[in-house]
Structure 1
Amino acid sequence: MMRGDDVSELQLRLGALGFDAGRVDGIFGSLTQQAIADFQRNAGLVSDKVCGPETVDSLVRLEGRGGTATVTGVRERDRLRRRLLNLTDLRVALGSLGQIHPVLSGFAAGLQGSGMSTLLLDDEDWSVQAEAVNSFSADLFLGFDISDRAQAEASYFSVPGYESDAGRRFAELIIKELPAAPGWGVGTVQGMRFQILRETRPPAVLLRLGPATVLESSQALVIASLHRAIEAWATDPC
């Protein structure tokens, strides 16, 4: 399967013109192929799902006629605003590589106590976790990673020209709510194209905290801050 920045650029161009190529993830999948076919029919070209020279020329010629928002971005915001009417409707997936960290298991228990559906994942392959998240039809994914260095970093999916508004919102809320534990320094929020962020369909955040000694002493505070962040996100996801 084709992947890369050229595919991301293609998805952006199609989405800005109103053709749904799926998330701007750089993966040339079935949605992108169908969007090409739809565009080709609309432009009077042979609808073969192949982005050849004529298709590229037509896309370049029409550049600027579309908006700045992609179809996928608009749909994500609309779906969340219609879907998250009640906190108990939320389906939340949580994952860490290799084993479930106590922070995640404690967070999951609190979410379940609030009536939310949760999925805990510990596969050592982020792609496998992404498939499980998508099959679960999650509304939100939080990945957790322990850093060896002093760090409080929340990453959401972003590529040039597109970012997950709902993912960025959740990342910002997490950093805002995290306790000011000694050794963490100032928390940061950044847009990234990590595999787990790219391949999950729902808004996703990868949270990196460290060092482990600081996290261990602040575990209860971290769980409480994550719960406040998700409650705030559910009422205003983007």
Structure 2
Amino acid sequence: MTQILRLGDKGHPVRDLQAALNRSGSNLLLDGDFGPLTERAVKDFQRKAKLVVDGVAGPKTMAALAGGDCAVLLKEQDLVRAAEQLGIELAVIKAVNEVESRGSGFFAPGKPAILFERHIMHRQLSQAGPEDDRELIVQQISELVAVHPDLVNSRPGGYVGGLGEYPRLARAKMIDANAAVESTSWGLFQIMGFHWRLLGYTSADNFEQAMRSGEAAQLEAFVRFIQADSAMHKALKNRKWADFARRYNGPGFARNLYDIKLARAYERYAETQEAAA
């Protein structure tokens, strides 16, 4: 995994970053100290590459410095647009993007970040079909659980992780393509496929194709998800971090300090915006 470098870091990785920035037009002293000048150079490069401007050298910035294709990556303007749609400060959406996203919406070119949930597949299949065929449906699902417990199960689990989730998704689609897409979380913000109708997509397949098109579309799905929940939207607008984190992450949010991380990230981005103004 690519190391994430930010203000205050020191060492050889920072020196390598400084050298890469110099090759892209900066004029930094190669001292291995990620100070304000290095942070400014990172932001300048991110603007030039049309990435999110946060001054943090993560996998996307490092890939861009190495000449990688940035076409499907999230851009500063995407976050500006999302903030306008939600009626929130840019610093708020940047904090959410930092804390609540996977960091990357793709495992590899053309492969959005996913996680297939076998217990959701079990639920989606259980809800399908007419009520008068309920006994037959229950029998069919029991047979699937016996034959494919890693794909259909009443309990969570069976995860492979990373690109290894794609063979699971492909096998699940052979059982029921729509239910498989609905049973998968997609992209930067891990939006579950079963929300497709609520979020205004025309079908599960339409939702999947949007998630494959780029991180901007994945952010748009997140925006729609927030807009669909008035209480969550209100909490985000008012920067009620604990309330927002509880609604977005579930009751275990405090264990992972999501509210504290969001508050700290917001303060950092808000200070940066004030300084720029």
- TM norm structure 2: 0.27
More helix by share: 2
More strand by share: 1
Which of 1 and 2 has higher RCO (CA within 8 Å, sep 6+)?
1
